[in-house]
């Protein structure tokens, strides 16, 4: 079995733990490779994430490290997250339980698919998001005028500080903090959450991913689009963003833990 190891590189303890996992896997007869950044922090050779191939990817870090890893891997690989951050909704294992589970991977494992969203500006692809895409004004304390069109029909028009376009996976991230619902990750849908809307009637929407969704920016203020907090694009003052379900879902190693059990456990730590 071939395992790719990725660690957050700003935490020496995380790197030390990653080294222990590497030694354990090699002792068990696995081929282990490191991504280039992790390897450089350990003084060894690594591979770029874009070109990596492996049976599974073990990521030691918080949600940011996992999102960055998923963004950079061109061909989706099963990801197993070990939480070395804050809440870590994308990381299914805590450090103390990780070694025992990782040793079971050689015997086979099941994979869970998580929907991602693909974003296009006037037909030009911008990128994909596992958690969310966020539209916000580039000028603090200014509002944007946004129109939501579903299957070509205007469904909502509002003014707000911005808009979150979230996946069900991202519903427990920024969208939850902004007042959105927690959505079962098995649901295939787009979650729209206005950020501080001017009218109280502007509420979150959950829209089937089978529908054609457009977000039209019609404002005198320029805006940016941030994808999973990793990529930022300038939208200007008038843009149309088309949102589609990505043809390439993110893959996660199934640790056989109920999603709602995890939500209950994670939220009690906040």
Residue pLDDT, tens place only, 200-215 = 888 999 999 999 999 9
Count of all residues that appear for the chain in the document: 270
Give span(s): CATH 3.40.50.10330, the chain. Answer: 2-114+249-267
pTM of the predicted structure, to 2 decimals: 0.92
Band (140; pLDDT cuts 50, 70, 90): confident
Q: Is 182 helix (H, G, I), strand (E, B) or coil?
A: coil
Closest to 169 in 3D by CA, of 74, 50, 78, 262: 262
Residue 119 pLDDT exceeds 80: yes
3-state helix, strand, coil in the chain (%, to 5): 25, 40, 35
pLDDT (tens digit per residue) in 80-89: 999 997 778 8
Helices (H), the chain: 12-27, 36-42, 63-72, 98-102, 174-177, 259-267
Write the CATH number of the domain with boundaries 117-245: 2.60.200.30
- Provide the phi-psi class of 137: left if phi over 0, else alpha when psi is between -120 and 50, else beta: beta
Report, as residue numbers or ranges, the catalytic residues.
Answer: 63
Give the model's pLDDT for residue 85: 78
Give span(s): CATH 2.60.200.30, the chain. Answer: 117-245
- Other C-beta atoms closer than 10 Å to the C-beta of 180 total 24
Band (269; pLDDT cuts 50, 70, 90): low
d(CA 61, CA 84): 4
Top CATH class, 2-114+249-267: alpha beta
């Amino acid at each position: 079995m071939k395992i790719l190891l990725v660690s957050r590189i700003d935490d020496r303890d995380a790197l030390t733990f990653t080294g222990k996992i590497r030694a354990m896997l090699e002792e068990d007869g696995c081929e282990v490779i490191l991504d280039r950044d992790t390897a450089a922090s350990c003084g060894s050779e690594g591979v770029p994430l874009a070109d990596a191939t492996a049976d599974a990817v073990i990521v030691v870090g918080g949600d940011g490290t996992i999102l960055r890893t998923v963004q950079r891997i061109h061909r989706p690989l099963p990801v197993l997250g070990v939480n070395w951050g804050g809440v870590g909704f994308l990381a299914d294992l805590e450090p103390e339980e990780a070694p025992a589970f990782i040793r079971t991977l050689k015997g086979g494992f099941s994979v869970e698919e998580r929907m991602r969203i693909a974003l296009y500006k006037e037909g030009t692809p911008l990128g994909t998001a596992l958690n969310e895409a966020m539209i916000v004004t580039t000028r603090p304390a200014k509002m944007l005028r946004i129109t939501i069109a579903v299957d070509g029909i205007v469904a909502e028009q509002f003014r707000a500080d911005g808009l979150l376009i979230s996946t069900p996976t991202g519903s427990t991230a920024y969208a939850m903090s902004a007042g959105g619902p927690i959505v079962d990750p098995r649901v295939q849908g787009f979650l729209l959450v206005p950020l501080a809307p001017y009218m109280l009637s502007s509420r979150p929407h959950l829209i089937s991913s089978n529908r054609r969704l457009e977000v039209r920016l019609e404002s005198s203020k320029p805006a940016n689009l941030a994808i999973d907090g990793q990529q930022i694009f300038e939208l200007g003052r008038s843009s149309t963003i088309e949102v589609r379900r990505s043809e390439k879902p993110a893959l996660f190693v199934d640790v056989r833990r109920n999603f709602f059990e995890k939500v209950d456990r994670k939220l009690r730590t906040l």
